[in-house]
Amino acid sequence: MQPQSLSVKRAQVEFHNFASLGEPERAMAAYLEENLRRSGFIRNHLSFIGPMTPFLEIGANAGHTSYMLVNEFGADGFALDLSADALRHGIALMDKWQLQRAPIRIAGDAVNLPFADGSLRCVLAFQMLSQFMDIESVFLEVKRVLAPGGVFLFAEEPLRRALSLRLYRCPYYNAMKPWERKLYDWGLLGYLVQDVIGAHQEESFGIRQNHTMGLTDWDALIRKHFVAHEYEVFVPQRGWGERVMKRIARRLDRHGSDWVPARLLGGTLAAVCRKEGTSEVSGSMERFESYLRCPDCHASLKRDIEDVLRCVSCGYSAPNEGGVFNLLPSRERAELYPGDREDLIDFCLPNHESRLLEGWHGLEGIFGNKYRWIGARAAAVLKRVNSGPQRIRVRGHAHERLFEQGKPVRITVLANNEKVGEWTLDRTGLFVLEANLPFADQYRIDVLASPTWYAPGDGRELSVNLSLLRLIPGED
């Protein structure tokens, strides 16, 4: 089983850039709340965890928890994420929170970690294991980079819920329909929908979620790879529907614990797991490159006077770009970070306008979430740079005003005047649309949207706003 396809990684880079940068005030508040929760969990298990330097946080997003570790706990280590742009946003965290120290930030892949065998004392992961179809592959890679006696700490991983019909994915609360909000407030919606509310938005980006793991599945996987562990289980209590069931489930548990409630109602798991053996690992970060290895050939990396990491064997190199070293394998790095190319219109890139035709309003938004409104129709030109089948990927946002007229909200995409896809949206919020394209060297892409609407005091005809158009391989 492939842990993550390249298309999923591409979607994650897009989503995390948006989530980290597109709404900075909301993101900052969420990061602060997460750090308070995570620091409490770490303090509860400090005696089991032991020394953390050098640590590695995988799936670090903007690196906010790694900043907490180096500033609040005095540890030193690395923050790793697929999204280099999200990691670069760490400078905003330092300014906002008046922090003095920062982790080493690395763009990398959790199933091909650019770290030497047995080099780390602690690996941490929050809300990221469930984004792998083969979770055990991450466990194996974590074990490889952990020194004997090292600790793997993960938290906020979803537990599969037994009491659910799993009829559909439900979005975040602010995008729910009125009847869904009512059931959510009563604690009844969880009995109808798939386990994690809010996964709908990430899945619409193309991110695949693995919510097949129940409490006994997690326990079996941990016992298979680690010699000791400590758990914390968090079971939801939304409204009377879940409060009553949790109370009943606790009575059914022979120890009066949350084990049976977690199996019935789901929730999240936090665990600290120790690798077999004991060893001494140097805690010095002065030559942090000594912990790393080349993502292509696995040889050692050296850092030169220009702050570029270079492989001693194959010629791979990774410069310091805004405080982040991109240590993804060469093929993935070229696909996930293509730069300004003719097959891509990313409204965050300065030269995107040269590929726009008619129908676009002015550029709005901030870095990580720049967009243009369209009216009934807008067009652009994309040229293929890769061989093989092509798909069009359109990313945008549907405003709530779009749905107030009571008409179906439709988006149609044409390629060289041929209709390649038509969709009906039923909710406000982010959307990602993909469709196969006929063979051509160049495409005129037309996006048609209806109905249109007008904002008070704004004479522009509006429908949806778009932030990305891109050609992607038809098959990964």
Residue 324 lies in a domain: no
Read off the CATH number of the domain in which 421 is found: 2.60.120.200
Residue 281 lies in a domain: no
Residue at a domain's end among 274, 300, 324:
274
Residue 292 has pLDDT above 70, yes or no: yes
**118 within 8 A of 279, measured Cβ to Cβ:** yes
Residue 311 lies in a domain: no
Are residues 227 and 100 part of one domain? yes
Residues 320-366: pLDDT tens digits? 998 999 999 999 998 888 888 899 999 988 889 999 999 999 999 87
The predicted pLDDT at position 241 comes to 95
Are residues 348 and 264 part of one domain? no
**396 within 8 A of 373, measured Cβ to Cβ:** no
Are residues 217 and 131 part of one domain? yes
The phi and psi torsions of 37 (rounded to 5 degrees) equal -65, -45
Residues 248-274: pLDDT tens digits? 999 999 888 999 999 999 999 999 999
The answer for 237, left when phi > 0, alpha when psi is -120 to 50, beta otherwise, is beta
| Residue type, position 169, single letter | R
**137 within 8 A of 3, measured Cβ to Cβ:** yes
Residue 210 lies in a domain: yes
Q: Kindly report the average pLDDT of the chain as a whole number.
A: 92
Question: Could you tell me the residue range of the domain that residue 157 belongs to?
Answer: 6-274
Residue at a domain's end among 222, 248, 274:
274
**204 within 8 A of 19, measured Cβ to Cβ:** no
Are residues 356 and 258 part of one domain? no
Q: How many angstroms separate the CA atoms of 78 and 57, rounded?
A: 6
Are residues 350 and 255 part of one domain? no
Number of domains the chain contains: 2
466: which residues sit within 8 A by CB, 6+ positions away?
347, 371, 372, 374, 378, 394, 395, 396, 447
Residue 18 has pLDDT above 80, yes or no: no
Q: How many angstroms separate the CA atoms of 126 and 88, rounded?
A: 19
The phi and psi torsions of 450 (rounded to 5 degrees) equal -150, 155
Residue 151 lies in a domain: yes
Concatenated DSSP letters of 202-238: HHHHT--------HHHHHHHHHHH-SEEEEEEE----
Residue 338 lies in a domain: no
Residue 475 has pLDDT above 70, yes or no: no
Residue 204 exposure: Cα atoms within 13 Å on the Cβ side: 23
Are residues 241 and 99 part of one domain? yes
Residues 394-420: pLDDT tens digits? 999 999 999 998 899 999 999 999 999
The predicted pLDDT at position 348 comes to 85
Residue 177 lies in a domain: yes
Read off the CATH number of the domain in which 263 is found: 3.40.50.150
Residue 438 has pLDDT above 80, yes or no: yes
